[in-house]
Structure 1
């Protein structure tokens, strides 16, 4: 579970291990904005999925070569949602083309965050 606690006007983001991040109301400032957190969730899911697949396949690779960039865009009709997520992946060097294609295909199916965004999800706001 993730918790947001506002302290002195600042959004603090916690998990069960304690304070992890500071939230921001605007992008590219101290802390991460909701959009940046959403993009980071998708990027982290893709990164973890890629690594798990390569580890399972017994691939020898340099984890430091992996780079995932995600950019969310809103639809042209200006509705209050994101319509597209562009995920750019830099894979470790030395992988052959056929394996890269397999890796991308399996990663798309393995990433829970990506699957959720593609399928949509029910969001329920409950007051306690």
Structure 2
């Protein structure tokens, strides 16, 4: 029996903010992103990043689900639109997140629904958000 090789990636993020500046995010793998907070400023704010993480994970998970079903040859363009609603009362948080998945390709509605259901189970981000992970914040 062949050994299963699990690929891992060093994950995480660091936000650094110099006096009077906006935070700059970096990843252990060298990725970098500037944050914005202005209402009309182009770019990502912290909530956009939360929604973007879910959108990207669901889109990638559709492809994984198609592979598991053996239908990747029929899969077309995939898009995931994610939006959230902030809670009306404190503490400041997102009360509801909605994801709408568009799956192009030669599929009937039942197969599209199956791909979406499978993607929800595959996506680490949706599973994490649904489970309400423990968050530990401490002084460094």
**108, 112, 127: which one pairs with 1:100?**
112
1:55 paired to 2:67 = yes
Q: Which residue of 2 aligns with 1:2?
A: 13
**6, 13, 31: which one pairs with 2:43?**
31
SS of the equivalent of 1:26 reads: coil
**129, 132, 136: which one pairs with 1:124?**
136
SS of the equivalent of 1:104 reads: helix
SS of the equivalent of 2:56 reads: helix
Q: Which runs of 5+ in 2 are unaligned?
A: 1-11
SS of the equivalent of 2:101 reads: strand
> TM-score normalised to the size of structure 2?
0.80
Q: How many residues align?
A: 127
Q: Which of the two has higher C-alpha Rg?
A: 2
SS of the equivalent of 1:55 reads: helix
SS of the equivalent of 2:92 reads: coil
Q: For structure 1, which segment, 37-46 or 98-107, has the greater mean C-alpha deviation from structure 2 after superposition?
A: 98-107
Specify whether residues 26 and 62 from structure 1 end up closer, same or farther in structure 2 by C-alpha distance, changes over 3 A only: farther
CA distance in 1, matches of 2:17, 2:42: 15
Q: Which residue of 1 aligns with 2:79?
A: 67
CA distance in 2, matches of 1:28, 1:119: 32
Q: Which residue of 2 aligns with 1:86?
A: 98
CA distance in 1, matches of 2:64, 2:126: 16
**104, 112, 115: which one pairs with 2:127?**
115
